[in-house]
C-alpha cells in the first residue's frame, strides 16, 4: 500500500479501497475529476498491485483488515468498493480512529446469499474458486461482465474497466483465493450496528452482486446510515454513472 504511506494525517483525506481482483488504477478517472476539492489517494489492498509484497495470504480477515488499517492515515474519509467495503467496515469497527466518515460502494456486511439474505449464490463463488485454478484471465473477464451486467452501458463499462487494469500486476492465485474466501465466509451483520462514523451506502439498481433488495435489508442492521440508489447502475457506478457518483461523494464529504 505504498501509495498512501506518508507523513500527512489530514482529517479530510479521501481514501479509495478497490474490490476483488482489481487495483487502485480503476479509480484514476474519477480521482482526476475530484482532486480539485479533495485530498485524494487510492490504495491497493494487501497482495494487490503496488502492495503485492505484503505477506497477507495466511492472515485471518481481522488481521487482513488490521494490516490495511496500519497503512491508512488517521481520520480518513474512506470509500470501500465491494470487497474493499467489507474491509472498510471491519476497520471502522476495530480501528475507529482511522475513519472519520465511511462510504460503502456496492458493498455489504455479508456477500453470500442465504435463505433470508439476498447476495451472491454460494455456487457462483464456488465456481470462481474452481476456475481460478485453471484460467485467471477467463475468470477476470467473467467477473468484469458480471459487474457490468444490467447497466445500459455494460459493454462500454467492461471495456473501461479492462483498460484501467491494463498494465497493472495480476494478483497471485493465493491472494485471489483469500479474497473469495472472505466474500464467502465473512458476516458482519451483527456488528455493523456498532459503527459510529457517519456512513453512506451507495448501490446500483441493477447490481447482481449486491442486489438493491439487500440494500433494504441492511437498513435493519445499519438504521442510522444513509442510502443512495443510482438508477440503471450495476456494480461499478463510478464507471457507468460517473457524474452522479462524484456529486454524491462531494455532498457527503462536505457535510
Which residues are catalytically annotated? Answer: 82, 207, 235
User: Residue 35 above 60 pLDDT?
Assistant: yes
Q: In this structure, what are the phi and psi dihedrals at residue 79, rounded to the nearest 5 degrees?
A: -105, 115
pLDDT, averaged across the chain: 92
Output the pLDDT for position 65. 97
**Which CATH architecture describes the domain 2-254?**
3-Layer(aba) Sandwich (3.40)
When pLDDT is cut at 50, 70 and 90, the band that residue 253 belongs to is very high
User: Residue 11 above 80 pLDDT?
Assistant: no
How far, in whole angstroms, is CA 137 from its chain's centroid? Answer: 20
Output the pLDDT for position 41. 86
pLDDT digits (tens, 9 = 90+) for 162-211: 999 998 888 999 999 999 999 999 999 999 999 999 999 999 999 999 99
Residue 199 and residue 140: Cα distance in Å, rounded?
A: 30
Output the pLDDT for position 236. 97
Output the pLDDT for position 3. 40
What are the residues facing 199 on neighbouring strands? 102
User: Residue 70 above 80 pLDDT?
Assistant: yes
Output the pLDDT for position 204. 96
What are the sequence ranges of the domains in the chain? 2-254
Output the pLDDT for position 42. 87
DSSP 24: G
User: Residue 40 above 90 pLDDT?
Assistant: yes
Mean pLDDT of 119-146: 92
Q: List CB contacts of 75: < 8 A, sequence separation 6 or more.
A: 9, 10, 11, 13, 97, 98, 99, 100
Output the pLDDT for position 9. 41
Residue 209 and residue 112: Cα distance in Å, rounded?
A: 9
Amino acid at each position: 500500500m505504498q501509495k498512501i504511506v506518508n507523513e500527512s494525517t489530514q482529517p479530510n483525506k479521501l481514501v479509495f479501497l478497490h474490490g476483488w481482483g482489481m487495483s487502485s488504477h480503476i479509480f484514476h478517472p474519477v480521482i482526476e475529476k475530484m482532486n480539485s476539492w479533495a485530498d485524494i489517494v487510492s490504495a491497493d489492498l494487501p497482495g494487490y498491485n503496488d502492495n503485492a509484497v505484503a505477506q497477507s495470504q495466511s492472515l485471518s480477515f481481522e488481521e487482513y483488515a488490521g494490516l490495511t488499517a496500519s497503512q491508512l492515515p488517521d481520520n480518513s474519509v474512506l470509500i470501500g468498493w465491494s470487497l474493499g467495503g467489507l474491509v472498510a467496515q471491519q476497520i471502522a469497527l476495530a480501528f475507529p480512529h482511522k475513519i472519520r466518515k465511511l462510504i460503502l460502494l456496492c458493498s455489504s456486511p455479508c456477500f453470500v446469499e442465504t435463505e433470508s439474505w439476498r447476495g451472491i449464490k454460494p455456487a457462483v463463488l464456488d465456481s470462481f474458486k474452481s476456475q481460478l485454478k485453471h484460467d485467471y484471465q477467463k475468470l477476470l473477464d467473467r467477473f468484469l461482465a458480471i459487474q457490468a451486467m444490467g447497466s445500459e452501458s455494460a459493454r462500454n463499462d467492461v471495456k473501461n474497466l479492462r483498460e484501467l487494469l491494463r498494465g497493472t500486476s495480476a494478483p497471485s492465485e493465493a491472494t485471489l483465493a483469500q479474497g473469495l474466501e472472505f466474500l464467502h465466509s465473512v458476516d458482519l451483520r451483527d456488528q455493523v450496528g456498532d459503527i459510529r462514523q457517519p456512513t453512506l451506502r451507495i448501490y446500483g439498481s441493477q447490481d447482481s452482486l449486491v442486489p438493491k433488495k439487500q440494500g433494504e435489508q441492511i437498513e435493519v442492521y445499519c438504521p442510522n446510515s444513509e442510502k443512495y440508489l443510482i438508477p440503471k447502475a450495476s456494480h461499478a457506478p463510478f464507471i457507468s454513472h460517473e457524474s452522479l457518483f462524484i456529486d454524491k461523494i462531494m455532498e457527503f464529504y462536505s457535510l
